[in-house]
Amino acid sequence: MASITVKVQEERGHVIHAQSQLDAQETGEEDEVSVSQEEYERERHRGKRRSGDGERKKRRKRASRAGEREEESHARPERREKSRRRRRRARDDEGDGDGEGEADERNAKGKKKQGSAKKGEKEQDAEKLAVEEKPQELKKKKQKKKVVETSSEQETSEVEDNQKEDNDETEVRPESLSPEELETLEEAVDERKKLIQGLRGKPWTMKKKLLTLRESQEFVDKYEGALGKGKGRKLYAYKVMMGKKWMKFQRDFENFKTACIPWEMKIKEIESHFGSSVASYFIFLRWMYGINLILFSLTFGLVMVPEALMGRPYGSIPRKTVPRAEGSSAMDFAVLWDFGGYAQYSVLFYGYYNNQRAIGWLKFRLPLSYFLVGVGTVAYSYMVVIRTMARNANESGVGDDNSFNFSWKMFTSWDYLIGNPETADNKFASITTSFKEAILEEQESQKDDNIHLTRFLRVLANFLVLCCLAGSGYLIYFVVRRSQKFALDGLDTHSWWERNEVNMVMSLLGMFCPMLFDVISALENYHPRVALQWQLGRIFALFLGNLYTFIIALMDEINLKREEEQIIKFNITIWEAHFYNGTVSENSTAPPITIQPADVPRGPCWETMVGQEFVRLIISDTMTTYITLLIGDFLRAVLVRFLNYCWCWDLEAGFPSYSEFDVSGNVLGLIFNQGMIWMGAFYAPCLPALNVLRLHVSMYLQCWAVMCCNVPQERVFKASGSNNFYMAMLLVILFLSTLPAIYTIVTIPPSFDCGPFSGKNRMFDVIQETLESDFPAWIGKVFSYASNPGLVLPFILLMVLAIYYLQSTSKSYKEANVELKRKLQTQNEENKKKNKQAALKAQMDLEEARQAASHTAERQRNNNASVEDQEGWEEKQGSSHRLSHGRNGRNPHPPVRDQLPATSACLSRTHHHSKHGAPGYLPGLPRQSEPRMCRVPSLQRH
């Protein structure tokens, strides 16, 4: 910001020089002003220096104005001459008022401690009087210039008034401003706006922020209107107004948005009890809930509701009617719970939808909508996951190198969120162990005692895990096969267990195998973090294997159903022929009124079957989760708590204890659940709705369970980077779950008598159909060209090339990074050597300088910083006086020009520290290494 200000000032300087005919006049004016100030200053130097700053300012204001008027009585030209001379003299002789301030400011760049309190006293120039804040100052200049330009000289007093009255004069005449000035003004306004925007990121105290905010807002309010000229002015004002309105709206919207984020307090509470890792699960859950809500609104709004409202009603056609054979039991709870009966023949499943091209008075293209929603669900999920991943990757930075091992441990290991004694205790313990581990690693690079044993154990563990995985895979395959046999026999002949075998087995496997893995991983003796990753990987593999076994079995079943369908199709033609009593050519004038839709024979409709399977899977999965929660956590907690009064050992501390919240397991469960949703959503549009319900209940149930019956983890892990780890898993699952869904859509022809695509060869034919009938011919042509392999293949090739290119560039960047890092390190080594000597020397110098500095400075630092110390000020003034002499001697300025740099420096000082916090220097903290520095607190801070 400082540089910008300086630039503005320089520009202003140019402006002055450019306006040749006004130049002399203006110089005179300015000199006049300054001279009067100097006179006054001399007077004042004698007098009351001890008074408060604000008071002083006021007095000064009054006095200077008086002096001005006094002077005005002199003849003008003469006065101008005199003033110029005097000005020069003052500069040479005194070198105190102006030059000192200037030099001081040069020194002070970046040092906030040299506050404006001092400045107010030292810079006696009229220009600088009210210069505490840059905006005012800029503004004043503007005003003065304007006045000088537009009116004649006798307005000097008004100029003075303008300056003094702190911008009470709002009347700004844009016509009178030259384009350059306008530009400057605009820049200043923009700058202020930027300042307001970035204010919250400034390391200032709130008081200062509030002050700055108010001032800059006033400034912007006042001078925004002056921008824009003539015709454009109204437009500009309008724009400004709209901008303000827009800002307000945005803020309100932001408030509204944060108010809409659910469960904020719940999660916060959990966070303070269990640390950020447990909370990260709940945040993930909430995020998932949001996504599912959107998926749900898509399917609900574009598929289910239109069909329910505008499609043919229930019972009008065979696919919308429960068959006669099932009619009697269609309302039984057991059947409904299994999603058979009326549930099967409803909007919940694929089979219910009619293949009518357009339904209702809206002419809603339902089959097309169904297809596009299916595709859109997947596309949206991909987009969201990848975008979140990219954002997380940006946020987490590139901190994967190990060069700051100890420092990171020291400065970032405490989790400031923790607010629970037990968690805090665990955290302390884990930090201590991590330090000890690091120390051990440091001391001896690798202790390889018993390496053979560990290796053997690890191999053994992996072997056992593989056995588990294979076993569970086989079990599922076996069960699914068996269930198909049962299904062929008819469901009624079998017990409840036999009917629900598949889901139960899958859920039980998902429950017990992770425990088994946990036991096995105890063999391996890995570092907990590594162990956690292995554990996650294994559970992932288990779930994935189970899911794919399930899908493969399902594929078998689909094939079976399709064979069945062929037979039924054949039978139906016979049945129809029989029904029409030999009339081969069916005439439309004799509608088959006599046949109830329920009696019409129909195919097995494999799509509905797939949807049902998934819904059942989800339901049983949900049930298992909840029951485990209730039994595993709640019941255990209750037993431990109440049996502890009458037990022979301490249950709470001893064996059963309370359970910990298993973050990784829960996250994995959530991810796989989502995978199943993605997989099955095409065939069962109700799945997202079910999932929303499930997640909603989970949120409350798990929050409650965590708070009431879990204890914080013994090893409190940081949630660092795990977010992206979860996301990566989610992405993998998304890919793997869309694969089978897309495969079935693309390769298997839809059933002939159910679903929105019945009668078509493939499901995606609906697109072609729409293109042909609803769009002009040329679009269809374009599409057919675009889908030509001759175009698609080169396109894919191009994408591959682009990926390759991007990857190689990123690789080379990485290499360059490593190279630079290495260079930096070697340089550091050198620097360290060099600096050690330099630092020693500097230390000596510093000591000397510090001793030379008066004890008052010392006192001031120790003192409460809000008390202004006059002694210290004088001391410091003396030192800066010396400095300014040196500077002025070297570099004398012409009278007009030299005011500008001074002001610019002082302007920049007020804001400088905010942005370019000079390295090694902190705002608000005194800096000891600068002996000349004075510790007078700045105005802004008090």
Of 766-795, binders to another protein (CB under 8 A) are none
406 binds another protein (CB under 8 A): yes
Q: What span, in angstroms and rounded, lies between the C-alpha atoms of 85 and 28? A: 11
Near another protein by CB under 8 A, which window of 151-159, 350-358, 420-428, 620-628? Answer: 420-428
Question: What's the per-residue H, E or C state across 773-832?
Answer: HHCCHHHHHHHHHHCCHHHHHHHHHHHHHHHHHHHHHHHHHHHHHHHHHHHHHHHHHHHH
Near another protein by CB under 8 A, which window of 406-414, 470-478, 562-570, 879-887? Answer: 406-414
Q: How many CB atoms lie within 10 A of CB 413?
A: 13
* Residue whose structure tokens are 């190198």: 401
Collapsed DSSP state (helix, strand, coil) of residue 604: coil
Q: Which is nearer to another protein, 241 or 410 (CB)?
A: 410
Q: Which is nearer to another protein, 58 or 214 (CB)?
A: 214
Which residue among 250, 328, 413, 812 contacts another protein (CB under 8 A)? 413
Q: What is the CA radius of gyration of the chain?
A: 40
Number of shown-chain residues binding another protein (CB under 8 A)? 87
196 binds another protein (CB under 8 A): yes
Q: Which is nearer to another protein, 252 or 586 (CB)?
A: 252
Q: Which is nearer to another protein, 431 or 552 (CB)?
A: 431
Give me the sign of the Cα torsion angle 538, 543, 544, 548: positive
Return all residues near 288 (Cβ < 8 A) that are at least 6 apart. 670, 674, 695
Half-sphere exposure of 303 (CA within 13 A, CB side): 37
Closest-CA residue to 672 (of 534, 544, 509):
544
394 binds another protein (CB under 8 A): no
* Residue whose structure tokens are 């003796």: 525
Q: Which is nearer to another protein, 833 or 882 (CB)?
A: 833
In 587-686, which residue ranges form alpha helices assigned H by DSSP? 606-628, 636-643, 663-680
8 Å CB contact between 502 and 476: yes
Smallest gap from residue 275 Cβ to another protein (A)? 9
Q: Exposure of 894 by Cβ count < 10 A (0-12 exposed, 13-18 middle, 19+ buried)?
A: exposed
417 binds another protein (CB under 8 A): yes
Smallest gap from residue 433 Cβ to another protein (A)? 9
Which residue among 20, 21, 407, 493 contacts another protein (CB under 8 A)? 407
230 binds another protein (CB under 8 A): no
Residues within window 687-746 making contact with another protein, judged by CB under 8 A? 718-721
Amino acid at 871: E
Closest-CA residue to 900 (of 2, 3, 6):
6
8 Å CB contact between 755 and 350: yes
Residues within window 786-845 making contact with another protein, judged by CB under 8 A? 828, 831-836, 839
Residues within window 109-148 making contact with another protein, judged by CB under 8 A? none
DSSP structure class, residue 418: -
Residues within window 208-227 making contact with another protein, judged by CB under 8 A? 209-210, 213-214
8 Å CB contact between 115 and 121: no
DSSP structure class, residue 364: B
Near another protein by CB under 8 A, which window of 99-107, 172-180, 360-368, 917-925? Answer: 917-925
Binding letters toward another protein, positions 539-578, x by CB under 8 A:
----------------------------------------
Q: Which is nearer to another protein, 453 or 842 (CB)?
A: 842
Near another protein by CB under 8 A, which window of 11-19, 165-173, 641-649, 915-923? Answer: 915-923
Residues within window 425-484 making contact with another protein, judged by CB under 8 A? 425, 428, 431-432, 435-436, 438-439, 442
Residue 710 main-chain phi, psi, to 5 deg: -110, 155
Which residue among 205, 628, 768, 854 contacts another protein (CB under 8 A)? 205
Residues within window 489-528 making contact with another protein, judged by CB under 8 A? none
914 binds another protein (CB under 8 A): no
Q: What span, in angstroms and rounded, lies between the C-alpha atoms of 659 and 639? A: 12
Dihedral (Cα; 385, 388, 390, 392), 10-degree rounding: -130
Q: Which is nearer to another protein, 433 or 450 (CB)?
A: 433
921 binds another protein (CB under 8 A): yes
User: How is residue 873 written in tokens?
Assistant: 């000020």
Which residue among 43, 55, 401, 563 contacts another protein (CB under 8 A)? 401
Half-sphere exposure of 120 (CA within 13 A, CB side): 24
Which residue among 47, 54, 301, 399 contacts another protein (CB under 8 A)? 399
416 binds another protein (CB under 8 A): yes
Residues within window 866-895 making contact with another protein, judged by CB under 8 A? 866
Smallest gap from residue 258 Cβ to another protein (A)? 5
Q: Which is nearer to another protein, 466 or 922 (CB)?
A: 922
Collapsed DSSP state (helix, strand, coil) of residue 359: strand
254 binds another protein (CB under 8 A): yes
Q: Which is nearer to another protein, 583 or 825 (CB)?
A: 825
Collapsed DSSP state (helix, strand, coil) of residue 898: coil
Binding letters toward another protein, positions 259-288, x by CB under 8 A:
x--------x--xx---x------------
251 binds another protein (CB under 8 A): yes
Q: What span, in angstroms and rounded, lies between the C-alpha atoms of 350 and 897? A: 82
